[in-house]
Structure 1
Amino acid sequence: MLVRKLCLCAVLILSVQGCGTTGSVLKMGPDTYRVSASKHNMAGGAPAAESNALSQANSYCEKQGKEVLVTGTSSDFDRPFYTYTATFQCLNENDPGLHRPHYEPAPTTVIEDRRN
C-alpha cells in the first residue's frame, strides 16, 4: 500500500512539473513584440513563467542578430497558474533607442480626482 501511494505521488509530481506554456512571439508594431508564459504554481510558478517569457524574447532577438530591450511587463495569478507577459523590442546594437532600462513598479492604487 505504501509503495502504491509513493508511486501515485511520484506520478502527480512529474505530471505537474511540466505544466505551463510559453506562447509564440506576437508582433505589436515596428520592432515591437509581446510574449507570454504561464507556469503552474507547483512547477516553478511566477519565477519560472518570467524566466520562460524573457528567455523566449532574448532568443527571438538573437535569431535576428539584435539586442532585446524589454519595454514593459505584467504578471497575473489565475489559480493555479502564474502568467508573465513581456513587451519588448529587437534593436540593432548601435540603435539610439537601445539604452539601459529603468523600471518602476506599477502602482497598486490609482486615485482619480473627479472634482472638475
Structure 2
Amino acid sequence: MKRFAGMLLVAVGVAGCVSNPGVVKTGPSTYMVSRQGKTGFAGIAGLRAKAMGDANTFCAQQGKQAQMTNTSQSSGMPILGNFPRADIEFTCVAMGAE
C-alpha cells in the first residue's frame, strides 16, 4: 500500500509540472506552439485544435493569418508524464495569402 501511495504521489507531481509555454520563435519567420494534456486522458484532436487556435491568435495580433508548416504528436502509452501532446509549426502570412 505504501508503494502504491508513493507511485501515486510521483504521478500527481509529474502531472503538476505539465505546462503549455505558448508560442516560441524557432527561426526568422517560423514559430512553434505545443499543447500537452494534464492527464493521460486528454484527446490529441482537442490539443491540436487548441494549438492551432494559439497560432491563429498569435498571427491575428500581427494582422496576419497562420499557415501551418508541420504538425506532430506524442505516441506511446500515456504513463510517467508521457501525456498526449500536439506540436504545431507555423508561419504568419498576409491575410488571404496561400
| TM-score bracket, shorter-length normalisation | 0.5 to 0.7
Partner SS for 2:48: helix
Structure 1 or 2: more strand by fraction: 1
Partner SS for 1:67: strand
Q: Structure 1 counterpart of 2:47, which letter?
A: A
Question: How many residues are paired up?
Answer: 79
- In our comparison, the structure showing a higher alpha carbon Rg is 1
Give the Å deviation of 1:65.
0.7
Using the aligned pairs only, state the percent identity.
29
Partner of residue 20, structure 2: 22
Partner of residue 89, structure 1: 91
TM-score norm. by structure 2 comes to 0.67
**Does residue 45 of structure 1 match 2:43?**
yes
Partner SS for 1:31: coil
CA contact (8 A) 1:61 1:67 kept: yes
Give the 4+ runs in structure 1 shifted more than 4 A.
none
CA distance in structure 2 between the aligned counterparts of 1:21 and 1:57, rounded to whole angstroms: 17
* Structure 1: 5+ residue stretches without partners: 1-18, 100-116
Matches within 5 A, 1:1-116: 21-39=19-37, 40-42=39-41, 44-77=42-75, 79-80=78-79, 81-93=83-95, 98-99=97-98
CA distance in structure 1 between the aligned counterparts of 2:25 and 2:88, rounded to whole angstroms: 12
* Structure 2: 5+ residue stretches without partners: 1-15
Partner of residue 13, structure 1: none
CA distance in structure 1 between the aligned counterparts of 2:58 and 2:21, rounded to whole angstroms: 12
Please give the root-mean-square deviation of Cα atoms over the aligned residues, in Å: 2.3
TM-score norm. by structure 1 comes to 0.58
